Amino acid sequence: MSQSPIALGKIQVVREYLAEEFPDCELGDRFDGLYETQTFRAQGKEFYLLRVSRELMDDSSQETLAAMLRNRDVAARMRLYRRALLTSKVLEALPGD
């Protein structure tokens, strides 16, 4: 498996946020070169997926990224949508596979 081109500290910010918000879920993530996203998943009784754009991860500080996750209420949207995309401009539902 190849390593993500995104800074580990920024990936860790999202991991920690999801661990707090989905404490009963098994978490995982990987870089998806096809979509240029870091894809995070939370698996428990339900399955949730969050794709965070590389552009957002590259252009945001760790502090800005952490604030954005909370201010946009990403976890609530993940629960609602099940599959979500977060970019600097939008937080939207992704179609299911």
| For the chain, domain boundaries | 8-93
For residue 7, the one-letter residue type is: A
Interval 17-51: pLDDT, tens: 999 999 999 999 999 999 999 999 999 999 999 99
**Do 41 and 29 contact (CB within 8 A), yes or no?**
yes
Interval 1-22: pLDDT, tens: 457 899 999 999 999 999 999 9
> pTM to 2 decimals?
0.93
